[in-house]
Chain A
Amino acid sequence: MPLDDTTPQLDALLLGTVLEMELSPRDNQVASKRYNLIPEHLQRPNSPIRPYMETALVYPQGSRAIGATIVHGADDDRFDLDAILEFRTPAGWTPRRVLDELHAAFEGFPDVKKIERCTRCIQLQFAFMHLDVTPMDPDRDPRAERVGEIYHSPDEGRDERFRVNPYGFGQDFRARITMPSRSFQDHVRDVRSKLQMKDRLVPGTIMADADIDALPEPIDPIRDAPQVIALKLMKRYLNLRYANRDEKRPVSVYLSKIAAEVPLSPFGICAQLESYAAELDKRMAAALETGRRPEERNPALWEENFNDRWPKHDREMKLFRMDLRHLVSELARARSSSLTDTRRIFDGLFGERVSEKAVRAYIDGLSSTAGVAHYEHNKGFVANPALIAAAPKKATQVSKAPAHHFHPGFRDK
């Protein structure tokens, strides 16, 4: 099956899969509240870093900054979110001390179950949510917007500082994404509104319900762009592939950058995911062939190498290629499989729970009332025509067939 073919029903299942992995509106509100509580908590009277928090700035980085947050999926219903905490390095503090003091300062954070000091960040572990807070020392003026240095302090080895610009990357990512057609966006919103999304983040006693509900949660439209949908599907797929491996997985920021560089496919979500996987595979193949490891740079700060921690070995790239090829071959199989077999393929790719829910949501969304049916010329029935019109310029021709009723009978010989 060529890559340039549309897959309207498969796309509907892929979309349902992605929506099942999203945060509910209430989860988003709770997550926002936790971001907002960071400076407040660190400025409390007995905070060891209180004096340095006056000009501190907190903002999302990673998936939350680019609309690509999903449930992890391999072990539990967990979301991993990231934040940058900007404040000037106190005089004489080493990276180790910054991380240690910040670790101590988070003690008593509302609802937190466990606080871990990692090599570059402090991880706040809540029920169903991890929040990685990475401290950053902002550059001195004149400063390129939000450029600064993060700290690296491993148990063994020397302390280091790295110049980064996650905010700039988020801005660049957003600028590269092509928003789909209005009908595609409307359809995604419509499907989402019909889902019974489970709230995973239950607030504790400190965050009263009224407090949470009062927070208006801005909806990020970028999350519904096919390039971002493909990124979320890839992340979920890799979460499952690496769940039982003792290997480093491709870093999210690298995956994100490439996802935004793959142009919007006019043929739908499956084609977008296939093109994305093919692009990653091509890059791995080139790296293995030339012996030069990938070095994707932050477009907003050229010295920031997104591949500084992955890949370290050819083995890792070969493993990743195997996963990419498995994904592409399974999608090709789904293109020519029955719904029953497609369901099994999705179980393997994205997890049983989400695929079961995605199929159920698709079926429940069908109307049994006779109405006009859409069909793609020379191909056939289309349940959701908006999905094959993601690109503003339609790749395919869709028409309507008049309403009718199926009817059983005996063959009149």
Chain B
Amino acid sequence: MKTKPRKPRSAQVQSNRMRHRWPDLRPRMLEGGRVIAWIGPLRGFQMRYEVAVIWEWQNPKAVPLVHVLDPPIEPRPGTDFIDLPHLNYDHQTPEDSALCLFDPDAGEWDSTMLIADRIVPWASEWLHFYEIWHLDGVWRGSNAPGPISVGEILRQRQEAPDGTRA
């Protein structure tokens, strides 16, 4: 039996769901209306972080990105941002890196899904595991196969004799 392909969720549907589930994440239109940013508090282990959920709503391939605004995320003492697990690493301004919340190869996210039901809860879960990681350096959240940080990716590339990803 053929299943009808699902449609990408409209900005209105996403906004309605966000307002229902996360009313304290307030929407703003940025970049001339090209981007919706929901900004507000989200729980980590216990404390609240100010986060921004950024979505290019007119681009069907755009992935919503979550940035932590305050307090900013930090590496563990003696390490660098590239060692922070599961970042969507911005090499120019590492402190502005977004969180990497799902495995793109496993179909865990696409534009037919709801940001409020996946991206935001996963971001809170990330913050929870981030705080535990800060305590002892072990990431205890679920991991996609492979390295857990950009630092690990780079080290593995250096170690591979042909320079390819190990």
Binding site for B on A (CB under 8 A): 7, 9-10, 334-340, 342-343, 359, 363, 366, 368-371, 373, 375-381, 383, 399, 401-411
Give complex CA distance A366, B132 in Å. 11
- Residue pairs across A and B with Cβ atoms less than 8 A apart, 19 shown, are A10-B46, A336-B47, A337-B47, A338-B47, A340-B134, A363-B132, A375-B125, A381-B125, A381-B128, A401-B118, A401-B122, A402-B108, A404-B101, A405-B142, A405-B144, A406-B126, A408-B147, A410-B89, A411-B90
Does B1 have its Cβ within 8 Å of any Cβ on chain A? no
Does B155 have its Cβ within 8 Å of any Cβ on chain A? no
Shortest distance between the CB of A338 and any CB in chain B (Å): 5
B144 lies within 8 A of A407 (CB)? yes
Given A375-B120, A406-B139, A408-B87, 18 further pairs, Cβ under 8 A: A338-B46, A339-B45, A340-B134, A363-B136, A369-B142, A371-B142, A373-B125, A377-B22, A379-B124, A381-B125, A383-B128, A399-B21, A405-B106, A406-B86, A406-B122, A406-B142, A407-B101, A407-B103
Shortest distance between the CB of B137 and any CB in chain A (Å): 12
Shortest distance between the CB of A371 and any CB in chain B (Å): 8
Shortest distance between the CB of B96 and any CB in chain A (Å): 9
Binding site for A on B (CB under 8 A): 21-24, 42-48, 85-91, 97-98, 100-104, 106, 108-109, 117-118, 120-122, 124-129, 131-132, 134-136, 139-144, 146-150, 152-153
| Most chain B beta-carbon neighbours within 10 Å: one of A338, A373, A375, A380 | A380
A380 lies within 8 A of B43 (CB)? yes
Give complex CA distance A404, B139 in Å. 15
Shortest distance between the CB of A378 and any CB in chain B (Å): 6
Give complex CA distance A334, B48 in Å. 11
Shortest distance between the CB of B136 and any CB in chain A (Å): 8
B142 lies within 8 A of A381 (CB)? no
Q: Which residues of A contact B109 (CB under 8 A)?
A: 404
Give complex CA distance A366, B22 in Å. 25
By Cβ-Cβ distance, the 9 closest A-B pairs, closest first, are: A380-B43, A380-B124, A401-B121, A370-B142, A406-B86, A407-B144, A405-B144, A375-B121, A381-B124
Q: Which residues of A contact B153 (CB under 8 A)?
A: 408
Q: Which residues of A contact B148 (CB under 8 A)?
A: 406, 408
Q: Which residues of A contact B101 (CB under 8 A)?
A: 404, 406-407
Give complex CA distance A261, B146 in Å. 54
Check A409/B88 contact, CB under 8 A, given A366-B140, A370-B142, A378-B22: yes
Q: Which residue of A lies closest to B90 (CB)?
A: A411
Q: Which residues of B contact A343 (CB under 8 A)?
A: 135
Q: Which residue of A lies closest to B108 (CB)?
A: A404
Q: Which residue of A lies closest to B152 (CB)?
A: A408
Out of B24, B117, B139, B149, name the residue touching A399 (CB < 8 Å): B117
